[in-house]
Amino acid sequence: MTKRVITFGTFDVFHIGHVNILERARKQGDYLVVGVSSDQLNFAKKKRYSVYPQDQRVRILRALRFVDEVFIEESLELKAQYIEQYKADVLVMGDDWAGKFNDMQRHCEVIYLPRTPSISTSEIIEVVKAL
Ligand code: C2G
C-alpha cells in the first residue's frame, strides 16, 4: 500500500534547507503532499509578508521531482482536517516544531527531522539587505 507523507511550511525564498527536509520527508513514504502557508497565514505567523507570493511558492514546490502534490494551508488550526483530507499516514516537520504537533498522533505518525544548520529565509533576507 502507498505510504502517504504530509508536511507544511512557507518555503519562502526557496533554499537548500527546504530541499533537504522535503527530500527526507519523501523518503519516509512513497507520496509527498506539501501544505504551503498562504500569504495571510505566513503574515500571522511571522509578522512579515513572504518575499515570494503564495502562487509562486506553490509553483516552485510543484516543479520538484520529490513533491507529488501541493495545496495552500490557510490555517494552523486545520492540520487534522488536512491530514484526513489528504489521507496522510505520516506528518513530517523540522525539529524547530518538535513537540508542537504531537496531538496529530491521533491521526497519523508524527516525525520531526533535524533542521539544516546555518540557513534560513530570514538570514538570507539579512544577507541580501547588507549587500
Ligand atoms: N527547514 C529546515 N532547515 C532549515 C530551514 C527550514 O529543515 N534550515 C524546514 C522547517 O523545519 C520546516 C520547513 O523547512 O519543516 C519549512 O520551513 P518554513 O518555510 O520556515 O516553514 P514554517 O513557516 O515554519 O511553517 O504548519 C506549520 C507551519 O506552516 C510551518
Sheet of 4-9, strand order: 69-73, 31-37, 4-9, 90-94, 109-113
pLDDT digit string, tens, across residues 111-120? 999 999 999 9
In this structure, the residue with its CA closest to atom 29 of ligand 1 is: 9
Distance, CA of 94 to CA of 122 (rounded, Å): 16
Q: Which amino acid is at 87?
A: K
Ligand 1 centroid to Cα of residue 44, in Å, is: 15
Model confidence band, residue 106 (pLDDT cutoffs 50, 70, 90): very high
- Supply the pLDDT for residue 104: 98
pTM over 0.95: yes
Distances (CA, A) of 79 to 7, 31, 73, 102, 103: 10, 18, 9, 11, 10
- Supply the pLDDT for residue 81: 98
In this structure, the residue with its CA closest to atom 30 of ligand 1 is: 9
